[in-house]
Amino acid sequence: MRIQLRYFASLREALGAGETFEWADPPQPPTLGALRDHLAARGGRHAQALARPRALRCALDQTMRDESTPVHDGAEVAFFPPVTGG
């Protein structure tokens, strides 16, 4: 499963603007929350930026969604803090 990741605000500072991510063996169904956990499990900067105690919002294909939303192949997923500046 190929997913285009986008990071905004402080996440962009920590992880860069984004990346194309190949999710080799996602859980069924793959959800935004499972993706976040999988990315955080990579360790390092991802673990700090996407850690569970941190409040984050997510969007799927440019629409705000909650973490129970299923992710599909070719999706664009964005992560960002709850409040971002203009």
pLDDT score, position 86: 57
Region 24-48 average pLDDT: 95
The verdict on residue 43 lying in a domain is yes
* Residue 71, pLDDT above cutoff 70: yes
Q: What's 49-75 look like in SS3?
A: HCCCCCCCEEEECCEEECCCCECCCCC
Residue 66, in any domain of the structure: yes
* pTM for the structure as a whole: 0.92
36 belongs to a structural domain: yes
**What pLDDT, on the 0 to 100 scale, is given for residue 83?**
77
Does residue 53 register a pLDDT over 80? yes
CATH number at residue 13: 3.10.20.30
- Which of 73, 60, 70, 71 has its CA nearest to residue 1? 73
Radius of gyration of the chain (CA): 12
What is the total count of domains within the chain?
1
Distance CA(64)–CA(68), nearest Å, equals 12
